[in-house]
Amino acid sequence: MSRIVLFIYRKRRFLVWPLLVLNLVLVGLWWNRSIEKVNELQWQFVNGYGIRMPLKYTIHGIDVSHHNNRIDWKRVCQMQASGVALQFVFVKATEGATLVDRRFKNNWQEARKAGLKRGAYHFFHPKRDPEKQARNYINNVTLKPGDFVPVLDVERNDRGRVPASKLIADIRVWLELVEDHYGTKPIIYVNRHFYLLYIAGNFDDYPLWIADYSTDHPNEFKADRLYFWQHNEKGSVDGIRGKVDFNVFVCEPDRLKEICL
């Protein structure tokens, strides 16, 4: 009996070792591919901005709202670190059906004066009338040639209390009204979670701006129209107190005109 047990043990051990070796090889291949992808982006810690930045991309920018308080736009525009200067900014314009960001007018005017390419975004409320929200944006945002197309920020669903079908339908109302007014498709800003729940498969023909701090490479998002990647929310910028969201344009530079008026 003991000989039989010993034989079975040896046989199992003989089978286990090749499997372990195979798993190690597969893990090694996966790790090497992951490192190659990360290295492709030339990640580098940039002291002036206080964060790692993917320097393969050449067009870097930020987004701001009243939470960033009063901004010295001249200092923002003049800042340069490790050869990287900021070239664009997205400014919060409106929220819900009636709110206008209290810093919007000043930020909007001063960003243009400073020479930054600018865009204006609307923070979408899932329980507010989408038509009124669209009118709020339209009534307060005047876009000029060279500005980015309108932006819809979708990142809230009050703990899932609004059914997905209704939220998707309401988002579509806002997008279509704004598209009709400005004559161009808006950009959708969304985090990874909301992208998978509400955007993917429903709004694939709209330009995408993804917020995801958990990945070192945006290529895992299979959207054909990914233009911007918000890769960090803890950057530092001369002329702005507190932490700042950092973004990068992930397409070839000559494609920037595709999402501008």
- pLDDT one-digit tens code per residue, 89-111: 999 999 999 999 999 999 999 99
Lowest mean pLDDT among 9-13, 122-126, 192-196, 203-207: 9-13
Q: Which of 1-10, 188-197, 207-216 has the lowest mean pLDDT?
A: 1-10
Share of the chain above pLDDT 70, in %: 83
> Which is more confidently placed, 20 or 162?
162
Residue 19 has pLDDT above 60, yes or no: no
Instruction: Say what the pTM is.
Output: 0.84
Give the distance, in angstroms, between the CA of residue 96 and the centroid of all CA atoms in the same chain.
21
Are residues 225 and 208 part of one domain? yes
Catalytic residue among 36, 40, 155, 180: 155
Q: Give 215's pLDDT tier (boundaries 50, 70, 90).
A: confident
Secondary structure element (H or E) that encloses residue 166, with its range:
helix 164-182
Which among 121, 69, 58 is positioned nearest to 237, based on CA atoms? 69
pLDDT at 5: 44
pLDDT at 34: 43
Query: Does one domain contain both 30 and 150?
Result: no
Can you count the helices (H) and strands (E) in the chain? 6, 12
Alpha-carbon distance of 107 to 25, in angstroms, equals 53
Residues 79 and 196 in one domain: yes
Mean pLDDT across 202-223: 85
| 220 residue type, one letter | E
SS3 call for 73: helix
Query: Please, what is the average pLDDT of the chain?
Result: 88
Residues 89 and 153 in one domain: yes
Of the candidates 138, 143, 106, the residue with the CA atom closest to the CA atom of residue 122:
138
Is residue 147 among the annotated active site residues?
no
- What letter does residue 101 receive in the DSSP assignment? -
- Location of structure tokens 């079908």: 165
Q: Are residues 29 and 86 in the same domain?
A: no
Report the CATH number at residue 212: 3.20.20.80
Amino acid 60: pLDDT: 98
How many domains are there within the chain?
2
Based on the fold, state whether residues 127 and 150 are members of the same structural domain. Answer: yes
For residues 171-187, give the mean pLDDT. Answer: 98
Q: Are residues 13 and 108 in the same domain?
A: no
Rounded to whole angstroms, the Cα distance separating 12 from 4 reads 12
Instruction: Taking residues 184-202, report their average pLDDT.
Output: 95
Q: Residue 237 carries which side chain, given as an amino acid letter? A: V
Judgement on whether residues 172 and 209 belong to the same structural domain of the protein: yes
Question: Does one domain contain both 55 and 33?
Answer: no
pLDDT(116) > 60: yes
239 & 252 share domain: yes
DSSP 209-227: EEE-SS-S-GGGS--TTEE
Structure-block tokens of residue 170: 């309401």
HEC readout, 1-61: CHHHHHHHHHHHHHHHHHHHHHHHHHHHHHHHHHHHHHHHCCEEEECCCCEEEECCCCCEE
Catalytic residue from among 63, 147, 153, 170: 63
Average pLDDT (173-199) is 96
C-beta of residue 219 within 8 angstroms of C-beta of residue 198? no
Q: Tell me, yes or no, if 155 is annotated catalytic.
A: yes
Q: Are residues 104 and 232 in the same domain?
A: yes
Other CB atoms closer than 10 Å to residue 216's CB: what's the count? 16
Q: Are residues 3 and 48 in the same domain?
A: no
Q: Which residues constitute the domain of residue 33?
A: 1-40
Q: Please give the pLDDT value at position 3.
A: 55
